[in-house]
Amino acid sequence: MTLVNKTTKPQFSYAGNLNLIVTPVFAFLLTLLAVAVWNYSVFDQTTESILQPTLLRTQLWQTIVIGIASSLIVIAVAVPLGITITRRGWPRLKNFLVDTLGLAQALPAYGLIVIFYTFLGTGMRTVIYALALFSLLPVLRNTIVGLEQVDKSVIDAGRGMGYTNLQVLLKIELPLAVPIIIAGIRTAVVINVGMAALAFLVGAGGLGETINSGLKLNRPTAIFIGASMVAILALVLDFLGALAEKYLKPKGI
């Protein structure tokens, strides 16, 4: 009797791809709900003035700019900093920076924006810098964890092949740390987009203006539309981050 080895096709991992399924579904359902509310609600003159399409487009663009700009600053600062303090001779910086940034994140985002306002005044720059500091910790911490969890035997094997320290970093450590680093970046982006709704407090615009006007004038429809747009934007960006996390990581991980 001859035994035949049958190869099985790799199955789709629902657990590993849950974000790629759930996040767009939630975004789609929330979009449908927002569109239904917009089309079937009866707007009075005040609600119409709050929900002017041109005004909403401007506020949406301001929210995107604040969220993306602050996230890019975080990436530009936290990833190189995380790499630096995981090198030999720099480990003492790790606890100091993590503890310091932890204190900054412990502050309410509103309070941090106010602190930056006292130095920088009104405008979009104030909110961008405040949110960059507020969301720096997740990316820095994930960069450190991602680099430190790389198997030392793999690093030693690379050095045994003649790799320099820079080649070990670029060809071994960073590729293996990519999933954890991107997870931190996704967290930072969602935080920044959500907190960008507070930009109106210092004259930086954003969808927070619509939400605030709805609260002040007791217009629940305006509140829902503004909050839904912020949530949908955050879900879309988180989904894009999940795609990057899936396709940028090395094969076999």
Domains of the chain: 55-248 (1.10.3720.10)
Segment 210-238 shows an average pLDDT of: 94
Task: Give the separation between CA 36 and CA 56, rounded to whole angstroms.
Answer: 17
Could you identify the residue written with the tokens 């790790």? 94
Residue 109: its pLDDT value, please? 81
CB atoms within 10 A of CB 31: 16
- Identify the band that residue 3 occupies on the pLDDT scale cut at 50, 70 and 90: very low
The pTM (predicted TM-score) of the whole model is 0.85
**What are the respective helix, strand and coil percentages of the chain, to the nearest 5?**
80, 0, 20
CB atoms within 10 A of CB 17: 12
Residue 248: its pLDDT value, please? 77
Task: Give the separation between CA 122 and CA 217, rounded to whole angstroms.
Answer: 24
Task: Give the separation between CA 156 and CA 128, rounded to whole angstroms.
Answer: 41
Give pLDDT tens digits for 95-133: 777 777 777 677 778 888 888 999 888 889 999 999 999
At 154, phi and psi to the nearest 5? -70, -40
Residue 168: its pLDDT value, please? 87
Residue 90: its pLDDT value, please? 66
Segment 17-21 shows an average pLDDT of: 74
